[in-house]
Amino acid sequence: MKALKQEPLDLIVTGVGGQGNVLASQVLGRALLAAGYQVTVGETYGLSQRGGPVMSMVRVTKEKVMGPTIPAHSAAALVSLEPLEALRVLGTYGHPGVVVLTNDRPLLPLNVIAGTDRYPDLAELKQALSENCAKLYWLPATETALNLGNPILANVIMLGALAAAGLLPIGAAEIEAALGAIFPESKMGVNRRALAKGAELAAAA
């Protein structure tokens, strides 16, 4: 069992209902548990399937059992499947040392579609994120997922990027094994490609 960069190692996976956020955090949890760590994965979903924001908190320690909620401004890394949600969550859980990995594809809130609110300019959003974190990975995960055949693969692509970013005490192989425990082998080919694409995107970022 590798040493943790900090204890607890607190990670947030966020996005919008229906993006596969809960699955992503569950895979992370399984992989870390299999590697011998204590893991607590707190999931928030309620109305979230109806387009609301969703957040999972993954807390990793060697021994101590943690509660399911990360204290404000103390996440080590923030993985977001939607760029606006990245900044929303950064506001509560960010600090100068946080690493942010976000999908660059907006999912417009209904109130934006309706014209009552504006979705921020993407360049401005990207700048707000990069100015307030240690490193920003701004990744075309949905676009890459569409090229692989299904937009839902964005979550696995982001996991591939997270593993490659060197923040976890585990690597892509452990994440792949955790995916293999959930998906049938027939679906593992495309999941492996998604993980590898995520690593490529992170390396290029």
Partner 1 sequence: MADLTKLTPGQRTLLQGNEAIARGALEAGISLAAAYPGNPSSEILESLADSAAAAGIYVEWSANEKVALEAAAGASFAGLRAMASMKQNGVNVCQDFICNLTISGTKGGIVLVTADDPGSISSTNEQDARFIAKLAELPLLEPSTPAECLAMMRFAFELSEQIGNLVVLRSISRLSHTRAGVTPGALPASRPQPYWDPKVAWHTLPTVLRHKAMLAKLAKAGEIMSAAGFNAYSGPERPELLVIASASSALYADEARDRLGVAERVGLLKLGCTWPLDEALLLRHLAATEQILFAEEVDPFIEDNVKALYAQHAPELGVKRFFGAATGHTPPVGEMSPDVLAEALGKILGREPATVDAAYLERVAQRVAALVPPREFGFCPGCPHRASFWSMKQVLAADGRDGLVSGDIGCYSLAMLPTGFQRANAVHCMGSGPGVAGGLGQLRSQGFDQPVITTVGDSTFFHAALPAIINARWNQSDFVLVVLDNSATAMTGFQPHPGTGQTATGRPGSQLDPQTVLTALGVPCSVVDPYDLEATQQALYDAVQAGGGVRALILRRVCALVQNKRGGHPYTVSVDPDKCRGENCGCHRFCSRVFRCPGLAFDEAAGKATIDPVVCVGCGVCTQICPAGAIQAEPRKEAAA
Q: Find all residues with CB under 8 Å of 176, minimum gap 6, and list them.
A: 188, 191, 192, 195
Binding window for partner 1 (CB under 8 A); candidates: 126-134, 161-169, 190-198: 126-134
Give bridge partners of residue 106 from the DSSP assignment: none
Assess 50 for contact with partner 1 (CB under 8 A).
yes
Three-state DSSP class for residue 195: helix
Phi and psi at residue 47, to the nearest 5° = -85, 5
Assess 118 for contact with partner 1 (CB under 8 A).
yes
- Work out the angle at residue 165's Cα, subtended by the Cα atoms of residues 163 and 166, and round it to the nearest 5 degrees: 75
Number of residues that bind partner 1 (CB under 8 A): 60
- Name the one residue in this structure whose structure tokens are 């021994």: 63
CA 107: distance to chain centroid? 16
Q: Which of 1, 3, 63, 96 binds partner 1 (CB under 8 A)?
A: 96
Phi and psi at residue 4, to the nearest 5° = -90, 145
Assess 45 for contact with partner 1 (CB under 8 A).
yes
The interface mask with partner 1, positions 60-89, x = CB under 8 A, is: -----xxxxxxxxx----------xx-xx-
Q: Which of 90, 161, 163, 170 binds partner 1 (CB under 8 A)?
A: 90
Q: Which of 4, 112, 167, 196 binds partner 1 (CB under 8 A)?
A: 112
Closest to partner 1 by CB, 124 or 166: 124
Which letter does DSSP use for residue 1 in this model?
-
Question: Which parts of 13-42 interact with partner 1 (CB under 8 A)?
Answer: 16, 26, 29-30, 33, 38-42
Phi and psi at residue 115, to the nearest 5° = 90, 5
53's tokens: 């924001």
73, amino acid identity = H
Shortest Cβ 203–partner 1 spacing (Å): 26
Question: Which residues of the shown chain bind partner 1 in the complex (CB under 8 A)?
Answer: 16, 26, 29-30, 33, 38-47, 49-53, 65-73, 84-85, 87-88, 90-91, 94-96, 105, 107-115, 117-120, 124-125, 128, 131-132, 142, 146, 151
